[in-house]
Structure 1
Amino acid sequence: MQQQQAKKKNQRVEEVFDLFIKHMKSFLQEAKLNHEEYTNFVDWADRLGKKGELPLYADVFLETHVLQAMYSKMPGTQPSLLGPYFVEGSPLVESEPGQPLVLPKRPDEPGEVLYFKGNVSNIDGQPLANTHVEMWHNDNSAKYSNFDSDAPDFNLRGHFYTDENGDFEVKTIVPIPYSIPTDGPTGEFLEYMDQHSMRPAHLHIMFQAEGHETLITQVFFEGDEWLETDVAEGVRDELLTKLEDKGDHKEASLDFVMRPL
């Protein structure tokens, strides 16, 4: 019987873990945690995992700080949260020349009609043609398709490509503010912190272009009552745009700049 080949040690995992332990010791000394508090945390974290809320908690309370530490001083559009509601395999959205792309939606989709325009370029100002763009957002009941919404799968979700000038225009509906789930351990944490659970209205957008770092970000709208107190702290000033009232629809626009690899 052949001896099983030993797995090669991952030096990067060891390096990061050693740093984690080093700084965890300093944190424990500063926080002055006792063993009961530690075991209560482990129990809460166990329930967080069993409830399936670890991605939710990490997205809402950790990811924004990770992103700011990585990108706040770098050129290009600032990233924001991926969020727990991204779904792979969205349909390709195409349109006739001169016509906006239309995100998949129900024939009687409730909500205000939104035309959203954008441009994608690199940090040198050159337009990025044929950039892959993924867009998704909630519906007028504040829910996301493929999750807790009654809408069909991939409602208000789609992917498309920028034109030769890096431009795109999408017809959809205006998203609305919503509460993150509060019926589990994440909700317990909010109660401990005496914090509300609301997120401002936003569009999720992901950009992928050859030779460039994938940009995952969000678009927010001026005047939203939850901008200053977003539970996920995902709002960035440069990700704000204005909703222009055009009578039978709203219009908004924002430009995006991608960083090279």
Structure 2
Amino acid sequence: MQKEAIKKNDRVVEVFDLFVKHIQAFFEEAKLNHEEYTNFVNWADRLGRTGELPLFADVFLESHVLRAMYTDTPGTQPSLLGPYYIEGSPLIESKNCEPLVLTQRPDEAGKVLYFKGNVSSVDGHPLSNIKVEMWQNDADATYSAFDSVAPKYNLRGHFYTDENGDFKVKSIMPTPYPIPTNGPTGEFLEYADKQPMRPAHLHLMFEAEGHETLITQVFPDDDVWLEEDVADGVRLDLLTKFEDVGDHVEASLDFVMRKN
């Protein structure tokens, strides 16, 4: 059977040409000798073979791209999607006007967290019945489906805002955690004398017709790792107070989506 011809994509060619151009400029500026070049290529090969390319890109590239694109634009600042997002999370729904409950084990460890928010458009209108995806790590600092003993969709779920663009979710407090350090990304951190920690955070993704999908994170404003986040994912407008009120913690943040 004859292989179907691939149609030329001018945008792919444009981006590829720029990529090669700047990689060549990088090698010229770095003045690598042949041994250093070979070591670099071998390290990059291991990065791909171990599946750590998305991790490395999240930590060292994505934040730079997002800052360049969105820092001076209206709306909530995006943050990293991160390597721990998975598709297919369960729908969670409110019962008897109670808060939504993020999927979790009956004996889930960690302090109870009630997180609420409002979603609106940059024109000020509330965005009702839009999809919100939420995920986070557990008290052991692990994400379900990734080196965790928890069920695949533990502390993951999606839901929809109410008629006013509001939502309220019951979960647990997220915890700071180190990114994996036993592969080529960790090797790079060691050479660069960088610590591997990320501050505690919640992941949220918002999808609304006529708007850009907003992928972002929410951080406790007193986390000790905010200024040293290895992934540089912290934004000032993503900080909020996680207030301890005895048997649980309460936090809130509003989100503003950009129109397409």
TM-score (ref. length: structure 2) = 0.96
Q: Does 1:72 align with 2:71?
A: yes
User: In the alignment, which residue of structure 1 is the partner of 2:33?
Assistant: 34
- Aligned counterparts of 1:4 and 1:188: Cα–Cα separation in 2: 41
Amino acid aligned to 2:81 = L
User: In the alignment, which residue of structure 1 is the partner of 2:149?
Assistant: 150
3-state SS of the aligned residue for 1:228?
Answer: helix
User: In the alignment, which residue of structure 1 is the partner of 2:249?
Assistant: 250
User: In the alignment, which residue of structure 2 is the partner of 1:127?
Assistant: 126
* RMSD after superposition: 1.3
Tell me by how many angstroms 1:51 deviates: 1.0
**What are the residue-to-residue correspondences of 1:109-120 with 2, within 5 Å?**
109-120=108-119
3-state SS of the aligned residue for 1:251?
Answer: strand
3-state SS of the aligned residue for 2:41?
Answer: helix
> Higher mean Cα deviation, 54-63 or 79-88?
54-63
- Aligned counterparts of 1:23 and 1:103: Cα–Cα separation in 2: 44
- Aligned counterparts of 2:78 and 2:26: Cα–Cα separation in 1: 28
**What are the residue-to-residue correspondences of 1:40-59 with 2, within 5 Å?**
40-59=39-58
**What are the residue-to-residue correspondences of 1:157-236 with 2, within 5 Å?**
157-236=156-235
- Aligned counterparts of 1:177 and 1:170: Cα–Cα separation in 2: 20
User: In the alignment, which residue of structure 2 is the partner of 1:62?
Assistant: 61
- Aligned counterparts of 2:88 and 2:99: Cα–Cα separation in 1: 21
Tell me by how many angstroms 1:109 deviates: 0.6
- Aligned counterparts of 2:159 and 2:6: Cα–Cα separation in 1: 42
Unaligned runs of 5+ in 1: none
- Aligned counterparts of 1:4 and 1:164: Cα–Cα separation in 2: 51
Amino acid aligned to 1:135 = M
3-state SS of the aligned residue for 1:62?
Answer: helix
Amino acid aligned to 2:233 = G
Q: Does 1:10 align with 2:9?
A: yes
- Aligned counterparts of 2:78 and 2:119: Cα–Cα separation in 1: 14
User: In the alignment, which residue of structure 2 is the partner of 1:102?
Assistant: 101
- CA offsets 1:114-154 (integer angstroms, 9 cap, x no match): 00000000001110001100000000000011111111121
Matched positions, count: 260
- Aligned counterparts of 1:239 and 1:4: Cα–Cα separation in 2: 49
Amino acid aligned to 2:190 = E
- Aligned counterparts of 2:184 and 2:21: Cα–Cα separation in 1: 28
The percentage of aligned residue pairs carrying the same residue is: 73
Tell me by how many angstroms 1:215 deviates: 0.5
User: In the alignment, which residue of structure 2 is the partner of 1:260?
Assistant: 259
User: In the alignment, which residue of structure 2 is the partner of 1:239?
Assistant: 238
Residues 7, 220 of structure 1: alpha-carbon distance in 2 compared, 3 angstrom cutoff: same
Tell me by how many angstroms 1:35 deviates: 2.3
3-state SS of the aligned residue for 1:191?
Answer: helix
Tell me by how many angstroms 1:19 deviates: 1.8
Amino acid aligned to 1:58 = A
- Aligned counterparts of 1:183 and 1:80: Cα–Cα separation in 2: 25
Amino acid aligned to 2:156 = R
Provide runs of 4+ in structure 1 moved above 4 Å: none
Amino acid aligned to 1:117 = K
Unaligned runs of 5+ in 2: none
- Aligned counterparts of 1:87 and 1:129: Cα–Cα separation in 2: 25
- Aligned counterparts of 1:34 and 1:175: Cα–Cα separation in 2: 45
- Aligned counterparts of 1:71 and 1:253: Cα–Cα separation in 2: 22
Amino acid aligned to 1:9 = K
Tell me by how many angstroms 1:22 deviates: 2.7
Amino acid aligned to 2:22 = H
Amino acid aligned to 2:148 = S
Amino acid aligned to 1:133 = V
Tell me by how many angstroms 1:97 deviates: 4.7
